[in-house]
């Protein structure tokens, strides 16, 4: 099961990193405060029929967060993950967007 999920997790992490870098990217001449954090928000199923997949992906995201923060963060800023349990329900997901 983990082997099947790993490519999807890697792809998702790469996409998240690209989005964060684009969203926080600034010209080299601008000043970035090291005290700021980069918040990455997302919804995922932590309860409901796909909870086991959601929990595995969340664990991978948290490992990525710890690794990035241990290496100095993104652009010198710490990464903070903000997640929402959409319960694998369309009605809950549409409310979180």
**Is residue 27 in a domain?**
no
- The closest alpha carbon to 26, from 79, 68, 76, belongs to 76
State the average pLDDT for the chain.
77
**Is residue 85 in a domain?**
yes
> Which range of residues forms the domain containing residue 53?
2-18+37-96
18 has pLDDT over 50: yes
More confident call, 54 vs 24 = 54
Instruction: Kindly give the pairing relationship between strand 37-44 and strand 78-85.
Output: parallel
58 has pLDDT over 80: yes
51 has pLDDT over 80: yes
- Domains contained in the chain, number: 1
- The closest alpha carbon to 21, from 29, 10, 11, 13, belongs to 13
**Is residue 30 in a domain?**
no
**Is residue 31 in a domain?**
no
């Amino acid at each position: 099961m983990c082997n099947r999920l790993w490519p999807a997790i890697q792809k998702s992490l790469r996409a998240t990193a690209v989005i964060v870098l684009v969203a926080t990217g600034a010209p080299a001449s601008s000043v970035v405060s090291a005290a700021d954090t980069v918040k990455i928000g997302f919804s995922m199923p932590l309860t409901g029929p796909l909870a086991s997949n959601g929990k595995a992906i969340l664990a991978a995201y948290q490992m990525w967060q710890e690794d990035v923060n241990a290496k100095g963060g993104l652009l010198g800023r710490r990464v903070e993950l903000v997640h929402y349990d959409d319960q694998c329900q369309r009605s809950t997901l549409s409310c979180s967007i």
